[in-house]
Chain A
């Protein structure tokens, strides 16, 4: 197990290096002179020349890449053109917002998806099964941004049940400690604010959870169908155990590996979907941060934002890989 973890960790290195290379290439492939972008069109040629030198832009690309790599390793993600602040220092609140949103969405997706899949498989070919599978089909075909707009229209504008914008109310904003607002309000004992933050989370997290929920439900259903047919389930049934007990205990344990894989893959979809969801719900996460950067052509922010998200995705899959062994004793770590 230990060697396996180390080996997997070492295998991450080429992927992470490749990621930085791609992100580096993006910024250098963008047409136009970065110095010109930073200084504006009225800059003098001398100013552009000196900025080029101070940015190292007169060096060959591989030297530039290595200095970029060095910067990243030392925690320097560049400076925002728009705010002139180091990105590393301003990205955390955004990152925390995205993590909170994605985490809640993942919990919804796993809980609803797995249960819907199990019930569908258990009650195969009943109205319940058909309904769940039609909903799942529509779920995988749903544009997240459209669903978000419909939610806002229904639950905020028409029914006025839930807030549709932001993480908290402007007149009652949360004092950030970790920037994970649910945690912060609990730490401060502000249960009124906790409730407010939770209300803000509901609509965007449901929108974000839709596609992963649908995919997890379909996946769970088909792997459960296979497991329910197997001999040891029949034995358990013959012994007279209650069906609910059998389904949840025996079958789920064995169906968990494929489900775990999907969860790992869905994280990517979730983090990608975050940019659309956050745009609609004005959720100040990395997605909105990147979106705003696109509007201002703030390329360093686009670059680092994408890099950070991809990094998280890779790490989540790394952890999922390690978790396999905990759920499936047949996988040997060699």
Chain B
């Protein structure tokens, strides 16, 4: 296996809530609470979880779009957290991002050509002519036409806009792309086209993806390894097929049992979770999942389980193992 290109250690983001008398910090929301994982060169790491579990925050913290409260992000043997603002801006050349909402992430006042060219202007790549040539190449690369450069985002469909977003991310030849729910705003029929495009581009340019999504089947389709998040923590991380075929953590099992199966004759044992996801401001003591876990034991409400590595290389955070 390749060595880790990007390594995240004990990443945390706490938001203080001001309230109570005279604006004292009354409580803290632990949006991300000690996440660690590593990504190898050329692979796709999927991150799944329900909305509000902290997966998007994690993605944005890797780019330092949101400043982490604590933790290390090591990229190519350098801790990104120690970079100055200016160095960080340069480092973003190597890590790019694709956003969820193709309608909101493109400035409606700029032409598509300008949107794709902008990263190259920012990183001072080539002269105007070279950049425009590259814009045209990129447009064709993502399955659009060179003449689309003169158009504005509102003249494109959602799928086309997401292709524009991908072209923008590719413009500066990054090594890592963080895709934050890149297809969840798209029609199902368009989703697979965009996913296949992402796969092709990965092969062609040897890209590394961190793929964040709530849709389990989408993640399965594209990922080599998958991490499952619950309330700001990774509960299980493993090879994709192993995770989907033999889920170990009770939460993963419950999530997978909720995926609809195309064949109506197949009877699945659906695990229905009790209650709602607790507020990240008041996570339950011990294991954050214990109050909804069908297999909860006494220890679960007292002690927080550590992330353990099982024999098959799977990482899991549960007292059952």
By a beta-carbon cutoff of 8 Å, the part of chain A in contact with chain B is 3, 7, 10, 334
Contacts and interface: CB of A to CB of B under 8 A. Distances in A.
A199 to B, nearest CB: 51
A334 B19 contact: yes
A334 B24 CA distance: 11
A39 to B, nearest CB: 49
A10 B23 CA distance: 12
The prevalent SS among residues of B at the interface is helix
A10 B21 CA distance: 12
Given A7-B22, A334-B19, 6 more contacts: A3-B21, A3-B22, A7-B21, A7-B23, A10-B22, A334-B20
A334 B19 CA distance: 7
Contacts of A334: 19-20
Interface of B: 19-23
Nearest to A4: B21
A7 B23 CA distance: 9
Nearest to B23: A7
A3 B20 CA distance: 9
A3 B22 CA distance: 8
A166 to B, nearest CB: 49
A10 B22 CA distance: 9
In order of increasing CB-CB distance, the 3 nearest A-B pairs are A3-B21, A7-B22, A334-B19
The prevalent SS among residues of A at the interface is helix
Nearest to B19: A334
Contacts of B21: 3, 7
Contacts of A7: 21-23
B136 to A, nearest CB: 50
A334 B20 CA distance: 6
8 contacts: A3-B21, A3-B22, A7-B21, A7-B22, A7-B23, A10-B22, A334-B19, A334-B20
A319 B23 CA distance: 21
Contacts of B23: 7
Contacts of B20: 334
B21 to A, nearest CB: 5
A7 B18 CA distance: 14
Nearest to B18: A334
Contacts of B19: 334
A7 B20 CA distance: 11
B19 to A, nearest CB: 6
Contacts of B22: 3, 7, 10
Nearest to B20: A334
A3 B21 CA distance: 7
A334 B23 CA distance: 9
A7 B24 CA distance: 12
B26 to A, nearest CB: 10
A248 B23 CA distance: 39
Contacts of A3: 21-22
Contacts of A10: 22
A274 B21 CA distance: 39
A39 B22 CA distance: 50
A13 to B, nearest CB: 13
A47 B296 CA distance: 91
B292 to A, nearest CB: 30
B186 to A, nearest CB: 36
B277 to A, nearest CB: 25
Pick from A3, A7, A10, A334 the residue with the most CB of B within 10 Å.
Answer: A334
B268 to A, nearest CB: 44
Nearest to A334: B19
B25 to A, nearest CB: 14
Nearest to A7: B22
B179 to A, nearest CB: 39
Nearest to B22: A7
A214 to B, nearest CB: 37
A35 B67 CA distance: 57
A7 to B, nearest CB: 6
A110 to B, nearest CB: 34
A5 to B, nearest CB: 12
B286 to A, nearest CB: 31
A334 B17 CA distance: 13
A334 B22 CA distance: 9
A221 to B, nearest CB: 34
A3 B19 CA distance: 12
A81 to B, nearest CB: 43
A322 B294 CA distance: 50
A59 B20 CA distance: 44
A7 B21 CA distance: 8
B181 to A, nearest CB: 34
B20 to A, nearest CB: 7
A198 to B, nearest CB: 47
A7 B19 CA distance: 12
B295 to A, nearest CB: 40
Nearest to B21: A3
